[in-house]
Amino acid sequence: MLTVSVKWQKKVFESIEIDTSQPPFVFKAQLYDLSGVPPERQKIMVKGGLLKDDADWSTLGLKNGQKLMMMGTADEIVKAPEKGPVFMEDLPEEQQAANLGYSAGLVNLGNTCYMNSTMQCLISVPELKSELSNYQSARTKDVDQTSHMLTVATRELFSELDKSVKAVAPMPFWMVLQKKYPQFAQLHNGNHMQQDAEECWTQMLYTLSQSLKLPSPSEDPDAVKALFGLNLLNRLHCQESSEESSETESVFSLKCHISHEVNHLHEGLKHGLKGELEKTSPSLGRTAVYVKESLIDSLPRYLTVQFVRFFWKRESNQKAKILRKVDYPLELDIYDLCSEDLRKKLEAPRQKLRDIEGQKLGLQASAKSSSKGDDVKMTDAEGSSNQSGESSTGDQQEGASPHMTGIYDLVSVLTHKGRSADSGHYVAWVKQESGKWVQYDDANTSLQRGEDIIKLSGGGDWHMAYIVMYKARLISM
């Protein structure tokens, strides 16, 4: 008979008697009573190893009063869950891309950053993407061969970008683009030349507007025009003869002219919509100076503004760049650039928008005035529920009858860094649906802060905005 003490976790079982004539299994059963650990789960440490169920006590050399240690729990044995978690590393690439929250970058194929950044800005327009996906691969006869190929290539590129995590090399698209627009294939010292992103942008939109004409003539025939196009109401006025004429013109972008007085996008736009031109006056019978004033007659879903930063410098024979800082807002209101008719149309939706915004502030104000202290919480709660209700209904109705408000939110910025249009570097900065800004610098993508986007306004050697795209804020009536 031996007496030992057994240490188990923080407990010590003092003076347990071991009947050395019985196998250790009996001892384990004793411990089971004390600790509740089933014998098969007990691990008892003796000198040189674990105590085996059939061991011989005499060979273990136990001493009276010796301390033994037991390990073991009655805990459930861990089992792997039926369905293990899915790891990102195991997912196919397109799902990884979906998880990333934004699309991949584009590999620079040799001075193609102008193209990459243009495409990154365009891909951020979901409506364009869906239009493209509806585009038939079979060519209809009213589209020429190269335009068709370019449209298909664009579609392919967009879908490829959506699927991959790693940067995509837009080789097929690049080949087609060169074919369609040979000016992009210009070589200089054996390398492709840097090109003006604005040119690429314009050409792309033009091509797409040609090819994406909807087959059914009843609707608006041109999807691209519906998305990007805006009508300008030009009024020509001749000072000398007081002749007046007006015409409408359809453009894809507004120009922001930069002069000494222009410090802000809005001023630049105004500046761009006013111009002088010489023209033969029918009444005077000679050329006279006409003042051209344009007003916006119809608003696009996506308003593109080009900063006219480059001008042809005759003396040096190159496109020089204006580095002047021109601020642009995250939220642009172009109401005062619109024509009278359009303003009238905008009146009601704008009022509604103001109401909604006013409600947010106004509710609080009214809460202040109405509540004399005791029902503040209630009105607050009401207000918040109101708000949430508002937004949800707004979402629902947006599809039903959206109305333009003349207010636009910045969605993408194409910047240029460098001193002339044909050199330097183009980068795209695109706002994601999640509200985050992503910088697409060719193959590299990185998240950016909203406040840094505003800082791309020029005035130094940092990236500066060249083309900005705004998305209309719609309101349902």
Partner 1 sequence: MAPVPDPNSVGGGAKRDEATTKIPSKDSKKKDDKKEEDLSEEDLQLKQNLELYVERVQDPNPELQKIALESMRKEIRDSTSSMTSVPKPLKFLRPHYGVLKEFHAKMAESDLKKMLADILSVLALTMSAEGERESLNYRLNGSESDIGSWGHEYVRNLAGEIAKEYTIRQGEESSIEDLMDLVQQIVSFHMKHNAETEAVDLLMDVEDLDLLLEHVDNTNFRRTCNYLTSAAKYLPGPDDMLVLDIAYMIYIKFAEYPNALQIALFLDNMQYVKQVFTSCTDLVKKKQFCYMIARHGMTFELDQEMVANDEDKEALQDIVNNSKLSEGYLTLARDIEVMEAKTPEDIYKAHLLDGRASSGPSVDSARQNLSATFVNAFVNAGFGQDKLMTVPSDSTSGSAGNWLFKNKEHGKTSAVASLGMIQLWDVETGLGHLDKYFHSNDNPVVAGALLGVGIVNCGIKNDCDPAFALLSGYIDNEDSSVRIGAIMGLGIAYAGSQNDQIKIRLSPILNDANAPLDVIAFAALSLGMIYVGSCNEEVAQSIIFALMDRSEAELGEALTRFLPLGLGLLYLGKQESVEATAEVSKTFNEKIRKYCDMTLLSCAYAGTGNVLKVQDLLAQCGEHLVKGDIHQGPAVIGLAMVAMSEELGLDMEIRSLERVLQYGEQNIRRAVPLALGLLCISNPKVTVMDTLSRLSHDTDSEVAMAAIISLGLIGAGTNNARIAGMLRNLSSYYYKDASLLFCVRIAQGFVHMGKGLLTLNPFHSERLLLSPTALAGIVTLLHACLDMKSIILGKYHYVLYFLVLAMQPRMMLTVDQSLKPISVPVRVGQAVDVVGQAGRPKTITGFQTHSTPVLLAAGERAELATEKYIPLSPILEGFVILKENPDYREE
Q: Which residues pair with 415 in a beta bridge?
A: 427, 465
200 vs 453, beta carbon nearer partner 1: 453
Coil, strand or helix at 446: strand
The CB-of-407 to partner 1 minimum distance in angstroms stands at: 24
Q: Which of 1, 15, 59, 79 binds partner 1 (CB under 8 A)?
A: 79
Nearest in space to 93 (alpha carbons), one of 154, 40, 167? 167
The CB-of-455 to partner 1 minimum distance in angstroms stands at: 13
The residue range among 8-16, 273-281, 358-366, 468-476 that interacts with partner 1, by the rule CB under 8 A, is 8-16
Query: Treating both helix axes as pointing N-terminal to C-terminal, what angle do 145-163 and 171-180 enclose, rounded to 10 degrees?
Result: 160
The CB-of-121 to partner 1 minimum distance in angstroms stands at: 20
Coil, strand or helix at 269: helix
Contact 81, 101 (CB under 8 A): no
Given 188, 403, 425, 463, the catalytic residue: 425
Residues belonging to the chain: 477
State yes or no: residue 242 binds partner 1 (CB under 8 A): no
Q: List the x/- string, 175-214, binding to partner 1 by CB under 8 A.
A: ----------------------------------------
Q: List the x/- string, 445-464, binding to partner 1 by CB under 8 A.
A: xxxxxx--------------
277 vs 447, beta carbon nearer partner 1: 447
48 vs 373, beta carbon nearer partner 1: 48
Sign of CA dihedral 378, 380, 383, 388: negative
Q: Which of 54, 81, 216, 373 binds partner 1 (CB under 8 A)?
A: 81
Nearest in space to 325 (alpha carbons), one of 271, 270, 260, 414? 260
- Distance from chain centroid for Cα 85: 28
In degrees rounded to 5, what are phi and psi of residue 397? -80, -10
281 vs 448, beta carbon nearer partner 1: 448
Mention every residue, 6+ apart, whose C-beta is less than 8 A from residue 148. Answer: 139, 211
State yes or no: residue 399 binds partner 1 (CB under 8 A): no
The CB-of-177 to partner 1 minimum distance in angstroms stands at: 28
Residues in region 82-141 near partner 1 by CB under 8 A: 84-91, 95, 99-101
CB-side neighbour CA atoms (13 Å) of 8: 22
Residue type, 114: Y
The CB-of-412 to partner 1 minimum distance in angstroms stands at: 17
The CB-of-176 to partner 1 minimum distance in angstroms stands at: 30
Q: 425 catalytic, yes or no?
A: yes
360 vs 449, beta carbon nearer partner 1: 449
Number of residues counted as binding partner 1 (CB under 8 A): 46
The burial of 41, by beta-carbon neighbours within 10 Å (0-12 exposed, 13-18 middle, 19 or more buried), is given as middle
State yes or no: residue 78 binds partner 1 (CB under 8 A): yes
In degrees rounded to 5, what are phi and psi of residue 56? -100, 120
Q: Which of 1, 80, 187, 361 binds partner 1 (CB under 8 A)?
A: 80
60 vs 212, beta carbon nearer partner 1: 60
Residues in region 405-444 near partner 1 by CB under 8 A: 434, 436-437
Q: Mark residue 434 as left, alpha or beta (left: phi above 0; alpha: psi -120 to 50; beta: remaining).
A: alpha
Query: Treating both helix axes as pointing N-terminal to C-terminal, what angle do 126-134 and 145-163 enclose, rounded to 10 degrees?
Result: 120
Sign of CA dihedral 154, 157, 159, 161: negative
The CB-of-89 to partner 1 minimum distance in angstroms stands at: 5
Residues in region 20-49 near partner 1 by CB under 8 A: 41, 43, 45-49
The CB-of-63 to partner 1 minimum distance in angstroms stands at: 11
Q: 238 catalytic, yes or no?
A: no
Q: Which letter does DSSP use for residue 124 in this model?
A: T
Nearest in space to 438 (alpha carbons), one of 159, 124, 141? 124
- Distance from chain centroid for Cα 80: 38
Residues in region 52-71 near partner 1 by CB under 8 A: 67-69, 71
9 vs 259, beta carbon nearer partner 1: 9
Given 113, 121, 200, 238, the catalytic residue: 113
54 vs 278, beta carbon nearer partner 1: 54
Cα–Cα distance list, 94 to 117, 155, 168, 213, 434 (Å)? 22, 16, 13, 30, 18
Contact 154, 118 (CB under 8 A): no
Q: Which residues are catalytic?
A: 113, 425
User: Which residues sit at the interface with partner 1, rule CB under 8 A?
Assistant: 7-10, 41, 43, 45-50, 67-69, 71-73, 75-81, 84-91, 95, 99-101, 434, 436-437, 445-450
